[in-house]
Structure formats: C-alpha cells, structure tokens
Structure 1
Amino acid sequence: MPPKPKTPKAPSRPAAAPKKKADMPKDPTSSQPTKKKPKIARKRKNDGNDDILAPGMNPKGFVQLHKGEGQVGSYAMFGRRDDFRKFILSSLVLNAYTNSYTDSITIQVRQRDVLEYIRDQEDRMKSEASPIDVYPKQSDNIHAVQRTALACAQLSRQVERASGQWPFDQEQEKKAVSAFEALAGRQASAFDRSDVSVKSFGPFLKYGESDLEPYSRAFNVILCLSWSLSPKVWSKRFENAKWDEEVRFSTAHVPHWMRERDGTKKPAKAPDQATNTSEPPKPNPEVLVSWKMTSLFPKQRELTEWLTEIGLVDNIPSELPITVRPTATRAEVRDIIRAKFQLNQNQAQIATLQVKSSLSNIMKQDWSAVQKELWSGIDSSPVVEMTLIDVV
C-alpha cells in the first residue's frame, strides 16, 4: 500500500511557480492580449547524474517516480503541470485513491506486490465493482494489495476509455470529492471539472513497454496524490493562488526511454549545406566496456555475491564492445550499455563508468570533455570500466 498520507517528507525541489505580485482575476470571456506561452517547470536535479530510466520488464523493475511531480506527470503522458494537477483531482484518481486507502491507512503496499497480483490475477482485474466490496475490510497486507491492484486496473481501463477527455458527471465528481476530503482531510481545489484532459497509460510499443506498464503508471499517479497530502507539499501544489497556472514540464522530467532522440528531431543537412566541408567526418569509435567485478564498492560486492549465489553471474558478460556516434549524448551511451549488458533483466544498474586510460568519470564529468578524449586519437582502443549495483 502506498505510504501513509499523514506527513511524508516534502520533495527537495517541488516544481513551484516563481513568486510574483498577485494579479486580479480576469474575465476569461473578455478580450485579452496575445496569450503568453506556458512557463517551463524547473528540472528536479542535474539530469547528468540521474539514473537512466528504462521500461519495466518484471514487477520489481518498474520505475517509482511518485515523489517528483514533473517526473510522474511526464510518465503519465502529460506535457503540462496544470493539466496533470486537474487530472489528479478528478473523480478518476480521487476514486482510485479512496478505494486504495479506505480501511488500510496504516498498511503499506509495495508496487512490485501490486504488479505481481495484477499479472497473476488477470481475470479478477476485469471487475468493475468497487474494490472495497470485492475485497472487504481486513487488517492484513494481502487485502490491501488486492484492493490497490483492482483500483489500479480500473483506473488504467477508465483512462483508456476516456480517449482524451473524461466524461463529465457533476454528481459523480461531487461524490468523489466528498469521499476523498473525508478520508484525506484535505479540501480539493475548485476548477472546471468538465474540462479534464486524460492521456492513455499505454502500453506504448514504440517505447518497448510491457503490458504491466499502464498499471505502473496508475500506481505512481495514486501514490503521487498520496504524497501530495503532506501539509507542505499540498499547500505549494494545490493551495497556491497559481496552482493551475499553465506550466510545461521540462524534457529533463520525461523518463529516458520516452524521450525523442536528437537524431529524430532535425533532418541532416545536405552536403551542399554543410558549414565546413573541409573537415572530415568524425569516425564512430568502438569502445570496449568492461564489467569491473573486483570493485571495492560494497553494493557492487553484494550484487556479485547475489548473482553468484543464484547462478546468474554468467548472465552479465564481463565485457562487450559498443559503437559511439559523434552525436551521441551521455544518456544514449548509457542506454546502449544497459541494453547490451541486459542490466534490467538482471536487476542491476550502473554505478560508475570510467574511461580506463584517464579515469574520466562518464557519469559525472562534463560530457563534452569525455567526447573530446574519445576522439583525440591518443587511445586507439578505448576501454570503459563499469561497476554495477543491485536495483533496490
């Protein structure tokens, strides 16, 4: 079950709008000057130091983003913060939250348990009945898992049916708001509930997602609402005068596997359009990536011992070559390494990446400096040493 909605710690950098003098509310029907472009939400932290996020392959490997509003909003396919906040406060999500938390406020449920139950009980997940009626009040964890799983399945299914906009029902909205406010002790902000955007939760085959990804999105959205109930977070997100101001999520909020690649955005220039035809094109160097299993890093040793104990140590190759394009970004290089070494399937993630000849830290050092080193020609056969840790 999602964490207790009492007083969870607020995120370190909530995506709040900059403070300005409060303006008098304007009549939306009156003539207005050209509408300003939506603001861009600030990045949560330096993207260069983030873990590379990949779609889930097993219940343990799905992302958990509920503490970051920009991240979970982008994961739920929303491009704007105001649209996502209104979606969170619609009857769709309020009902899912109420069904998940009723009678089990003190019981915590893990995402992996919910996804495992959905995977193993597919027929039960088709029920449209209230999760509380299907799984009556109990004091043990399994009933909390069952209720949350059914709530996630119903939320995902209802989102898919909405196809862009949730069918507005005034009585349904009032009932959902009343039940939520009674349970959570928070007053939902007022807004035009007939205009709530709804985005499909997938799965999106073009991103390589599995059938469980929509339920992971639903779970993260429910937990995001629960996390927002902290007094500090709630006041900044939903009690601020500009809580529904048009703000776009930044690209850094979008999970890595859902981002557009640089090469797909801009067509390559024709030869006669090149700005410097005298400079020969840079080669695509082959870099040998080596798994440094002897690392003294404690979590690295724990992962190696665990993989050895269960007989999976040979599933991760000790070394593999990769080709690096001149235009490749740091995130793309790490994605290539993760895919080639099948780290997601082996429940591992990259801890460090270092160019062996200079010990340049690919994970933290300025990427342009690392690129310059790789194309300097000093090291004809560059080697990158990698250490891994267990996915927790």
Structure 2
Amino acid sequence: MGGLWGRRIAPVLAVAIGIGLVGCSGQHGDSDPGAKGSAPTSTTAVAPPVSPVDTFGWDPCGYLTPELYADVADHDPATGLPRVQIDPVDFDLCEVHIVVPGPTYHEISVASNKRQTPPTPGVYDNADRYSVAADGDWTVVTQKQENMGSCLRAVYSAQSAVTITSSQDTFEKALPVDVCDLTDRAEKALVAALHANSVPRLSFPADSLGRTDSCALLTDAEITANVALPGWNPPAARHPGHFCLWQATESTAPANMPVISPFQSKYNLVSLMPGLNKPAASGRTVTIAGVPTVLSGGTQSCTATVAGRTWQPWPGKQVYQARYPQPDTLVESLQLAVVLADTGDACQAVQNLAEKAWPRLR
C-alpha cells in the first residue's frame, strides 16, 4: 500500500447515526466508559421480527436520500433539487449536509455512523429521558425531547446497533428546524431498510482498507504492554470492525491536570480509526515497518496515519447538491491513536504499536 492516509480524531457534532457490531472494542466510546446498568426497561413489540445482520460491509450512505429532507432543505433555483449533500467520510460514517432556506447560509448535518459494537449496558436506562421499544431482535431507543439543541435515536441488537444523535450550534438553534424530526427520518429509513433487507453492501478489492478488520491488527497483550488500561477487561467476543477502541475505565489523570488539548481524556485509550477523504494529516513523515506514516502529536496524545487505495469514483452512494463540489478523489486512511490521561510518551507508544499493526495490513 502506498501513499499517506488522513483522518480526524475528533467526534462529529451533528445529527449522527452510529451502527455497530458486538465486541470489536473494549468500550463503545460513550462519554462515561465506567457506566453501568441493566437491560432496557421498556419494550413493546412492533412490526415483524428483523434479524441482526453483519453491518461490516454496508454502504454507510446506502439508505439515505436527499428526498428525506427535501421539505426542510433550500432548493437550487437552477435545478430545483434540494440542496442536500450525502458524503461518505469513511467505511462506517456518512454525513448528510442540509442547507436550510434563509438570507444567510446555514447548514444542518446528519451523520450515519456504524460501529461494530453494541452500546454500553445501561446507557439508555433513564426512563425519564428515553423510551425503548423492541422490534424483533432489535431495540429502538427514542430520546423523548431535545436537550440543548441535541436529540438521539438508537437501533441496536446483540450484534448490531444504530445510535442517532443530533445537535445544532449556537448560530443554528434559532432556526425553525426540529432536530428530533431529522433523527426520526433517518431512523425510520434505516428500520425500513432492515425490514426489507435492502441496505446496500459494498464489495472491496483486495488492496482496499475496506476489507481490513482493525480489531485484528493488534492483540490485547500488545496494547497493554505499551499503554496501561486500568479497569479495562477484554470483550468476550469480537466481530470484524473498521473502528476499534481499547479504553481504560479507571482514570489516572491528576486531579489538577489543566486542559491542554481538545483530545485530552481522563482515561488512557488506544484507537484504530478509518478515513475516506483527501489526506489532511499534519506532522512529520516517518517510515514504520516499511510503510510511510504521518506521525503527529506529543507526550499526551499522538497519532500515526497511513494511506491506502485512492477512489474515483467511489462505489457507494454520493450525492453533491449542496455548496461543496464533489471531491476529485477519496483516499482511504487508517489512524492509530494513543491518548494518555497523564503526561507520558504517547508518540513512542504509537510507534511501538504501529510496528506491530502495519505488517498485518498486507
């Protein structure tokens, strides 16, 4: 594999839908990795049973269409089409950008993100905040009302899960847009596709990172030999996943540690994260295990980013009807990240782990 791969580490703050399979990561990546709880407390049988499926090869944008938001979006005066962009960000993440009418430019985002791991047990147990209903082998979660410009939906099972969160920034909160309605539309489209078994799948060639199981690139022993993960326990089972996370559940951060980075965490973690866009990684280029790698970071957080296949055209769904032109190319990427709760040598840990992981990409 040649080239350089790029991918951001920051989470998407938008209307986000995440889909996952059980056990690829040690934690799902919720805001509190130590969260505990029991099974959903409210279940109601609706519709015919829907069997869990392997989402690894799904087209992340496959079930989303501009028509879902045609009545919300501005329309192009020349074409009459809704100004909606459907943009694959990686093998799991799809972003839908909706330009809303008005004298100034405003855009609302919907992000569909599939993860190969279920949510943390108990995370949706707050009956005052969520309603939970059974749909065959799936569970559908609805956040009852918008909270500070955000809304959430989730669809999950023992093997796969869909979470839908929406948020608006300060400038967009005054817009007459119901963010919970936006999440409802995406959730209903997904559930309908599950019932019809109509979510498109992508078939990747041998040289594509789309075939790579990130959770198989490193062993648990290799991770913990380089990064301490207090409180973390390996999952009972792992399924193939493009994204993989190993995260401590006990904090080692000093009580008076100042916030010096947007990626700072109270918990040590290691992640492998795909990308599918023009490489934007900044840092120095080094060679690790014979692979050109962009190394970026310092003592507390560091990433190693490598590049794979270049796509044009992308074989999955892309729709460009908003203000952004279609990219000339989409470049596959994989980013290995280490984030430490206290000062250490994150870049050395990243390089040590990359020495193990990169040869397994071939």
Is this a same-fold pair by TM over 0.5?
A: no
Question: Highest Rg: 1 or 2?
Answer: 1
Higher helix share: 1
Q: What TM bracket, shorter-length normalisation?
A: under 0.3
Counting strand residues as a fraction of each chain, which structure ranks higher? 2
**Structure with more contact order per residue of length (Cα contacts < 8 Å, sep ≥ 6):** 2
> TM-score with structure 1 length normalisation?
0.25
| TM-score using structure 2 length | 0.26
